[in-house]
């Protein structure tokens, strides 16, 4: 069984690494946050001392990091993965980053004989814990096939969508749909409550019809409880939409709805809500309309 390096064991990476350990994989963990790393070591992981060290001691390396700059630094920087990796190894890059960055990193690794898959995820902390994430993968089919068993420990659905960069592009599409869907749920529920109808009864009435969605099912109850402990932090969705809009500009793609939801999220962040769950978009509509969706 392959020995896996796992770099980035925060809210998402920690349960993903735990699931691998529980399935019998040897894991070498690394994170700048010593508290987060300590939890993974308590699950049975070995301690890594740098990305270079992790790469030198493992067969396959997984990264789960905040954004493009962190991934570039961990993979290509001083004491980075590229300095410890050797021909035949595979990097599974599971962070949500810009597709062009993913392609550039893969190109530099390939020059050293190291293969790469870009494999961002969707589902948040809850699905990371249950091992049921949706994983969208870009890369060579043979590399995907060789590593699919590892990915299936962490994901309920694992899909190869194209070459390097395609996984990240698919994740950007996912984040656009999720952001706009959450905003639509909040906007509509505020309308219903202002009209004097119980939003929970609206939810029960529409969830099985065409308006039903995973976003409605997962996020509307949070709105009714006024509970926004993060499964996926608002600031991370802002980061993803920044990558969306950057990619849209490069491809000359007009994205008016995404631009509008991004402005809502940034307004919430400026109001001190950067750390709440992205379902906290409801707070924007509550402030705008002077009403609360929280059940009284």
Catalytic residue annotation: 171
Q: What is the DSSP string of the chain?
A: --EEEEE--STTHHHHHHHHHHTT-EEEEE-S-HHHHHHHHHHTPEEPSSHHHHHHH-SEEEE--SSHHHHHHHHHSTT-HHHH--TT-EEEE-S---HHHHHHHHHHHHTTT-EEEE--EESHHHHHHHT-EEEEEES-HHHHHHHHHHHHHHEEEEEEEESTTHHHHHHHHHHHHHHHHHHHHHHHHHHHHHTT--HHHHHHHHTTSTT--HHHHHHHHHHHHT----SSBHHHHHHHHHHHHHHHHHTT---HHHHHHHHHHHHHIIIIITTSBGGGHHHHHHHHHT---S--
């Amino acid at each position: 069984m392959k020995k896996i390096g796992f770099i980035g064991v925060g809210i998402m990476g920690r349960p993903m690494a735990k699931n691998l350990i529980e399935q019998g994989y040897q894991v070498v963990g690394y994170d700048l946050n010593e508290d987060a790393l300590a939890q993974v070591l308590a699950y049975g992981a070995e301690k890594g001392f740098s990305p270079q060290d992790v790469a030198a001691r493992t067969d396959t390396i997984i990264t789960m990091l905040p954004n493009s700059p962190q991934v570039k630094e961990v993979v290509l920087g001083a004491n980075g993965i590229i300095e410890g990796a050797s021909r035949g190894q595979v990097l599974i890059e599971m962070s949500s980053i810009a597709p062009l960055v993913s392609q550039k990193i893969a190109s530099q690794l390939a020059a050293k004989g190291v293969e790469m898959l870009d494999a961002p995820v969707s589902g948040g902390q809850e699905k990371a814990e249950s091992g049921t994430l949706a994983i969208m993968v870009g890369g060579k089919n043979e590399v995907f096939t060789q590593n699919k068993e590892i990915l299936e420990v962490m994901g309920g659905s694992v899909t190869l969508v194209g070459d390097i960069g395609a996984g990240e592009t698919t994740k950007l599409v996912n984040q656009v749909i999720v952001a706009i869907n959450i905003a639509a749920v909040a906007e509509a529920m505020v309308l219903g409550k202002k009209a004097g109808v119980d939003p929970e009864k609206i939810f029960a009435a529409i969830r099985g019809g065409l308006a039903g969605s995973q976003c409605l099912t997962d996020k509307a109850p949070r709105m009714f409880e006024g509970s926004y402990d993060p499964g996926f932090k608002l600031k991370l969705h802002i980061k993803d939409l920044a990558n969306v809009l950057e990619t849209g500009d490069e491809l000359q793609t007009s994205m008016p709805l995404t631009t509008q939801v991004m402005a809502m999220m940034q307004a919430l962040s400026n109001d001190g809500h950067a750390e709440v769950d992205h379902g906290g978009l409801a707070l924007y509509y509550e402030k705008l309309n002077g009403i609360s969706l929280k059940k009284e």
